[in-house]
Structure 1
Amino acid sequence: MEVYLKFGRRRPPLQRLIRSGGKKKPKRRGLGLWLKWLGALGLIGLCAAGALLLYLFQADLPLANSDKNSVLLDAQGKEIAVFSDGQRNRKSVALSEISPWLVQATLATEDRQFYDHFGFDLKGMARAAFVNLKGMGKLQGASTLTQQLARNLYLSHERTWSRKLREAMYTTQLEMKYSKDDILRMYLNEIYYGHGAYGIEAASQLYFGKPAKELTLAESALLAGVPKGPTYYSPFNHMKNAKDRQKTVLSVMVETGAITQREADKAYAELLTFRTREERAMTSQAPYFRDYVRSVVVGELGIDESLLEHGGLRIYSTLDMTAQQAAETAVASELAGSPELEGALVSIDPRTGEIKALVGGRNYTESQYNHAFATTRQPGSSFKPIMYLSALASGKLTSASKFSSEPTLFHYDDNRKTYSPRNFGDKYLGDIDMRQAIAASDNIYAVNTILTIGAEQVIELGRKMGITSPLQAVPSLALGTSPVSPFEMATSFAVISNQGRSVKPFAVQKITDSEGHVLYEASAPKAEKIVEPAAAYVLTRLMESVFETGGTGNRVSAEIKRPVAGKTGTTSTDAWLVGFTPELSTAVWVGYDKGKTLGTAESRKAAPIFAKFTEKALEKVPPKIFPMPDDVVSVYIDAATGKLATPDCPSKKLEVFVRGTEPAEFCSEHGGGEEPAKPLPVQKKEESRSWWSDLKRWWME
């Protein structure tokens, strides 16, 4: 035994057994140990997975990218636009408001196993991995609708492992927190369909001009194919590609049993009607107003632009969508068929200063230039009421003041300069009063007026009424030769409508952050007295004659079923109608961007736009007469002399005056010149207005 030890040899097994006390040593790395380790690791993994799932279930999902964008709301609190880099056109609807054909087409094309998987299509992923491995590259994907929704809502489209990991986490959370129908609804309201349309409702309106609920099988199959490549498969860009994709979608629907082959063939052969470019321009709600609000929020209220786009702000505006839609429809209908002809409309509530409607051009997708604030347009004769208000307020002229309408050479600037205006069509009316001058838009009377009261006085009043553009103190100012914007004109006419009081126009009522905290709130409107209410009322009554027989707006009077006052204006390149009711002060402009001369037809488009807008915007508002303030008197005057009428005067009319400026002398040309012993009876006469003209006469009497 010692021999074995001496030479370092191992002892025989029996000897080792004796030395060890008869016990075998266990093997260090047996199968059992490995099984124990695997079991422990599996248990740890299950615990970790359970903990992760519990964490994901309890944790809140991040704020969606679309939810981070600030939204613009109308005066009723309804969302009308989104502030984002892409100016997204989006409107969410319930799943029940989406055509079943669209739902089936989307599921068949994008995720056939949607209602069977838990967010991940394992078979699809294995199949895609095999195809990719076989092709030695990334050839096929296997994203479910839930994965796509997670990516669109919370992530970018970068191809990194970290992004894929987060996508998997958000996908799991979506499946845990929402039902399948909720996920499908969110997906269909989020997916991009091209041309700025996010969600099926916006896409349906953009492409077909109808709600998503009314989409046919053919329309649904075409739209379901667009998200695969919004530019490549857009029917507006590539009709052939869109039809090929539609055929593929229909074939897949046949495979899944959603439709028959006969239905697919019929749908493919169906002739689809898409919206025109002009109609598509109206799909985005109030885009010019949205841009204006952006400039106000950032430029005037000091909100950082990044906060506006990604801070989840809610901006409550003054916009009345009924009025806005009426404005967009009126502008589009009148400008249709006149290529390059532009237009603008601004409407303000004169009582509060709230901007109720704003259209800055004919097609926002083609031009984002907002003509509503363009200060390069001459208002023409639509500027005259500002001058006439100055004359009435100063007491230097009254509604009965007369000037001779005839070709006249005017001298001004201490007789160093001359000015010789002409009437449109060289039509001259002889001796006329202010009512006739306003109705017929007489230029000779207007220049006589501004030379009587002084151009500086007119400019001073214009500034107070809201004209901020430079005004030149020359006689031609009376004819509107100093450029102003439609916004300025609507603002200034609001003063006349509001009985001589000015309320600063505004578009934003309140701004709240993503948590509902108020960041800004507009103060209560403050009315500033600009002129006496009596002077504003007298001018209003005179401006009503523009829409009566002989007035320049008479051709559209039949379309307006309520009291309205206004003034037309026409230059070689610009056409205007600025007017008001007690509820709205509205300026309409029509012209060409390049200063192209207006033809006769184009120069007559402003008035119909005004008429259509006013009547539609106030369709549900009962007609109101303009309230008559104190210090207004109405007397019968002789039409020929402008003096108080006698029973012998053959032509008498009831006229309004600021108290103290009415004629004191009776007409002596048709009688003895003595004051009549009894009041003159009201003379009945036919007017182009119907019921409210009678109401107006009753009120005056």
Structure 2
Amino acid sequence: MKNEVNSDKTDPIGETAGKTAGRTAEEPPRKRHRIRRFFLAIDAFVDTALWKSGSAIRRVFESYDAFLRRFRAKGIWRMLAEVSSEGLTYGLAGFIVVLAFAQPAFEATRYADWKTTDDFAVTFLDRFGKEIGRRGIVLNDSVPLEEIPDSMIKATLATEDRRFFSHFGIDFVGTFRAMVENARAGGVVQGGSTLTQQLAKNLFLTNERSLSRKIKEAYLALWLEANLSKQEILKLYLDRAYMGGGVFGVTAASEFYFNKNVRELTLAESAMLAGLFKAPGKYAPHINLPAARARANEVLTNMVQASLLTEGQVIGARRNPALAVDRSQEQLPEYFLDWALDEVKKLARRNPAMARDRIVTVRTTLDPALQRQADLAVETILRENGKLRDANEAALVSMVPDGAVVAMVGGRSYGESQFNRAVNALRQPGSSFKPFVYMTAFMNGYEPSSIVPDRPVWIGNWSPKNYNRSYRGPVTLKLALTKSINTIPVRLSLDFGRDKIIETAYAMGLTHELENSISLPIGSSEVSVIDMAAAYSTFANGGFKAPAYAILEVKNSNGKVLYRHGTDSPEQIRVLPEEKVHQINDILVNVVEAGTARRARIDGVVAAGKTGTTNAYRDAWFVGYTGNFTTAVWFGNDDFSSTRRVTGGSLPAMTWQKYMAFAHNGIELARMPGVEAESLPRLARSAPAQLADRQSDTAQPRVLKRRTQSLLLRIGRDLRRLMGQQSASAVPASEPAETVAVQ
């Protein structure tokens, strides 16, 4: 029994071990069960939340629908409600889209001094010190808004924005009215832009006609209204608007057209100035006085219609219209002045003194005699041949081989279009690009006598064709460039690569991005006229880079020199080997003597250059140079339409010859690097030309012969001596002789 009793008692150790073993066996199922219950709870919570949310949303929509059913819109009212609803939806979406397009325009407003950043009052002088024009805006507010005549302000508001003081930058009423009037007239007779929108364009945008520009203009107008008062906006507009004749603002226009202070303007004169806002080139009184007076009469009518004046108050101005100063004989270098102003602004960004003093006098590189001849040459050739050959525009840039621009023609008429085709237009250069390819070849082991086959060459599915659709077989590089064969530069580019050609072109002075395409060697990538002139100047000066420049000296309002090109500009750097320049010059002289540019020959002068003609005769070029000048000429159309078979060897070469023959008349001829005039049969038979060494002071253009200069200097000394004797202060007899280098 004892044993039985003992056997019935539970062993503590054994029982514990058994329980532990049992729990261990049961633990995994319990953990899995708890995990399962946890995820089931989450699932139930999510399902419940979704069901409740859906029910709540459904109840909201049911309530909204029940609310809308109370209105029971039918017929026309329902249609209007639907249209309004859709309009609001799409309007909001459109607002967001156009706001995204307008964002780039707001970058310009981040500058704290956006109202004055690039504003200058500049008096420009030619290279001899004579005034040739003015540009910029006077920033010292010499004529506040309160002192501008009431007639000028009323004429401006009546003509440009009658609701100026009641709208917030965008006038929807005025825009709708303009749309109705334009539809009724079958054309554009009224503009919809407010005065604030026009100011936004003048301050931040360009004259580009595009939807994106209008979007930016509208948003910037709202920004201006939020940040400036109406009086500030009006004053800025009167100061910034272009008024024709190269002047900006009513203050400058008053002096230019009437030779009087803006405070003294009469009603008739105010009306004539207000009429310029619409189209200054068309209504400028110094260009077309009858049109200007007719436009002024419309402004007077606008003032009466806007109830700003009565008919009796304007009748005197109608009977006695304004008489503008006769400037018909003045031919200002407008395109050059626009470019020179941009150069002043660039200098100011690098010159702190110029950034502080913005009323400056600038002596430029312009030669007025050469500028007149450039204008005459372009206009003469266009007048004689433009209509017949379907060529409506041209551009010309002429410079000394160191880069000093002496003449610039940016288009046929500045009054009709202020777009500078010589600087801002990008056009394909055609074969005038080939010298960059041949120079690259010479720097990579080729010689002018190297033989390259002229036969079809294929790059994928593309093969260049020669102008005459034939092939010459093996030719030298000199003959290939002289005859402007297309296959040779393409074949050369396959040897040393197009990257090296681009590198050479950039080093010589091209600034715009060149597209590395298979047709690059024959001039498919776009360039500007001024860049081509600068690049070819590298050939004319023996291999030194010659960036185009317009400014010789800048003085502030106190006469202090702020900048002088000779001391403040970097020294010229050599970018081409001298012997290779000699080789390319020899070939390009041959282009004029026996190649595609024979119409560019000048009697007694060694000239070199290259013609260029693009597909469908859209662009025609001749870029040529002598030891004294480099000149690039382009002919074509603004809309990229084809001309009637105008090639670089026709109108451009003829214009170049007409201008350059005049430019070399009566000056000492500088030698072209690597070329002797005696080696050319045509020049050897002509009268010997007087040559000047490149290092002499004749590197700059000279208007007078040395003998004439000496005579004038002698007369000047005698006059000063005579005047000195009369004032008992005669010049000593031992005074040293004067020397003058005409710049």
TM bracket (short chain): 0.5 to 0.7
Instruction: Flag the 1:156–1:84 CA change in 2: closer, same or farther, 3 A.
Output: farther
Match of 1:295 in 2: 342
CA distance in structure 1 between the aligned counterparts of 2:671 and 2:518, rounded to whole angstroms: 34
The one-letter code sitting in structure 2 at the alignment partner of 1:349 is V
Q: Please, which of 493, 500, 523 is the counterpart of residue 536 of structure 2?
A: 493
How far residue 617 of structure 1 moved from its aligned partner, in angstroms, is 1.9
Among candidates 450, 453, 456, match of residue 499 of structure 2: 456
Aligned to 1:556: 600
Matches within 5 A, 1:48-127: 69-84=121-136
User: Does structure 2 retain, via aligned residues, the 8 Å contact 1:381–1:569?
Assistant: yes
**Counterpart for residue 515 of structure 1:** 558
The CA deviation at 1:628 is 3.3
After superposition, where does 1:369-384 map in structure 2 within 5 Å? 369-374=419-424, 376-384=426-434
Question: Offset at 1:229?
Answer: 7.6
Residues 498, 618 of structure 1: alpha-carbon distance in 2 compared, 3 angstrom cutoff: same
Is the contact between residue 405 and residue 430 of structure 1 (CA under 8 Å) also seen in structure 2? yes
1-structure distance, mates of 2:507, 2:646: 35
**Contact persistence 1:409–1:418 (CA under 8 A):** no
Cα offset for 1:155?
Answer: 6.7
Match of 1:505 in 2: 548
Q: Pairwise mapping of residues 245-264 of structure 1 onto structure 2 (< 5 A)?
A: none
- Give the whole-Å Cα distance in 2 for the aligned partners of 1:512 and 1:695: 39
User: 1:694 and 1:427 mapped to 2: Cα distance?
Assistant: 40
* Whole-angstrom distance in 2 between the partners of 1:519 and 1:623: 33
Structure 1 residues without counterparts, runs of 5 or longer: 1-67, 87-149, 161-193, 207-225, 246-274, 412-416, 635-653, 655-681, 697-701
1:325 is aligned to 2:372: yes
State the Cα distance separating 1:530 from its structure 2 match. Answer: 1.0
Q: Which amino acid aligns with 1:285?
A: L
Q: Distance in 2 between matches of 1:515 and 1:79?
A: 17
Residue in 2 that maps onto 1:157: 149
Q: Alpha carbons of 1:599 and 1:419: their partners in 2 closer, same or farther (altered >3 Å)? A: same
**Counterpart-to-counterpart distance in 2, 1:692 and 1:480:** 36
| Paired letter, 2:122 | S
Q: CA deviation at 1:518?
A: 2.0
State the SS of the aligned residue for 1:295: helix
The one-letter code of the counterpart of 1:371 is: R
Q: 1:401 to 1:73 in 2, by over 3 A?
A: same
- In the alignment, the residues of structure 1 paired with residue 125 and residue 411 of structure 2 have an alpha-carbon distance, to the nearest angstrom, of 21
For 2:137 and 2:453, the matched residues in 1 are separated by 60
- The separation in 2 between residues aligned to 1:471 and 1:619, in whole angstroms, is 37
What displacement does 1:435 show? 1.9
**Is the 1:380–1:480 Cα contact (8 Å) retained in structure 2?**
yes
Say which SS state the counterpart of residue 503 (structure 2) adopts. Answer: helix
Q: Note if contact 1:486-1:589 (Cα within 8 Å) is conserved in structure 2.
A: yes
CA distance in 2, matches of 1:564, 1:552: 13
Give the alignment of 1:560-579 within 5 angstroms. 560-571=603-614, 572=616, 573-579=618-624
Alignment of 1:254-403 (within 5 A): 283-302=330-349, 312-336=359-383, 337-338=386-387, 341-350=392-401, 352-374=402-424, 376-394=426-444, 396-403=445-452
With over 3 angstroms needed to count, the CA separation of the structure-2 counterparts of 1:308 and 1:364, relative to structure 1, is farther
How far apart are 1:382 and its partner, in Å? 0.2
Partner of 2:571: 526
1:404 equivalenced with 2:450 (yes/no): no
Q: Which runs of 5+ in 2 are unaligned?
A: 1-119, 153-242, 248-252, 258-267, 276-282, 298-325, 691-743
- CA drift of 1:357 comes to 1.5
The alignment partner of 1:529 has SS state of coil
Question: Matches of 2:551 and 2:564 in 1, distance apart?
Answer: 8
Q: Please give the secondary structure, in 2, of the residue aligned with 1:545.
A: helix
Other structure's SS at 1:600 match: coil
Q: Does the Cα contact within 8 Å between 2:430 and 2:524 map onto a contact in 1?
A: yes
Matched residue of 2:474: which SS?
strand
Q: 2:464 aligns with which of 406, 411, 421?
A: 421
Contact 1:569 1:575 in 2 (8 A): yes
Q: Could you list the per-position Cα deviations for residues 96-130 of structure 1 after superposition, in whole angstroms to 9, with x for gaps in the alignment?
A: xxxxxxxxxxxxxxxxxxxxxxxxxxxxxxxxxxx
Counterpart of 1:620?
666
The answer to whether the 8 Å contact 2:451/2:475 transfers is yes
SS in 1 for 2:596: coil
> How far apart are 1:356 and its partner, in Å?
1.6
Match of 2:288 in 1: 236
Relative distance call for 1:237 and 1:73 in structure 2 (3 A) is closer
Aligned to 1:577, the other structure's residue is in SS state strand
Q: Report SS of the residue matched to 1:376.
A: coil
Change (3 A) 1:332 1:85: farther
Please give the alpha-carbon distance, in whole angstroms, between the structure 2 residues aligned to 1:435 and 1:354: 30
Q: Partner residue of 2:580?
A: 535
Contact 2:123/2:131 (8 A) holds in 1: yes
Report the CA distance shift for 1:567/1:560 in structure 2 as closer, same or farther (over 3 A). farther
Shift, 1:577, TM fit: 0.5
Following superposition, the deviation at residue 238 of structure 1 comes to: 3.1
Pick from 491, 508, 519 the counterpart of residue 476 of structure 1.
Answer: 519
| Residue type of the alignment partner of 2:451 | K
Secondary structure (helix, strand or coil) at the match of 2:515 reads coil
Contact preservation (8 Å) 1:347, 1:356: yes
| 1:31-46 to 2 correspondences below 5 Å | none
Alpha-carbon separation, structure 1, partners of 2:503 and 2:475: 27
Q: Is the 8 A contact 1:85 1:309 kept in 2?
A: no
Relative to 1, partners in 2 of residues 1:159 and 1:543: Cα closer, same or farther, differing over 3 Å? closer
Q: Displacement of 1:410 after TM fit? A: 2.5
What SS does structure 2 have at the residue aligned with 1:419? coil
Distance of 2:393 and 2:355 partners within structure 1: 30
Q: CA RMSD in A?
A: 4.7
Contact persistence 1:577–1:588 (CA under 8 A): yes
Matched-pair contact (CA < 8 Å) for 1:70–1:312: yes
**2:499 and 2:516 in contact (8 A); partners too:** yes
Offset of residue 69 of structure 1: 4.9
* Alpha-carbon offset, residue 623 of structure 1: 2.9
SS of residue matched to 1:238: helix
Structure 1 position 442 matched with structure 2 position 467: no
- C-alpha displacement at 1:376, in angstroms? 2.6
- Tell me: CA distance 1:70–1:157, structure 2 relative to 1, closer, same or farther (3 Å): farther
Aligned partner of residue 382 in structure 1, secondary structure: helix
1:272: which partner in 2?
none
Tell me if the contact between 2:603 and 2:686 (Cα under 8 Å) persists in the aligned partners: no
Q: Which amino acid aligns with 2:333?
A: A
Judge conservation of contact 1:563–1:623 (CA < 8 Å) in 2.
no
Question: How many angstroms does 1:196 deviate by?
Answer: 4.2
Q: Does 1:588 find its partner at 2:636?
A: no
Note the C-alpha offset of 1:311: 5.5
The secondary structure found in structure 2 opposite 1:597 is coil
- Give the CA deviation at 1:79: 0.5
Superposed displacement of residue 560, structure 1: 4.7
CA contact (8 A) 1:578 1:586 kept: yes
Q: Which of 465, 476, 483 pairs up with 1:433?
A: 476
CA contact (8 A) 1:503 1:525 kept: no
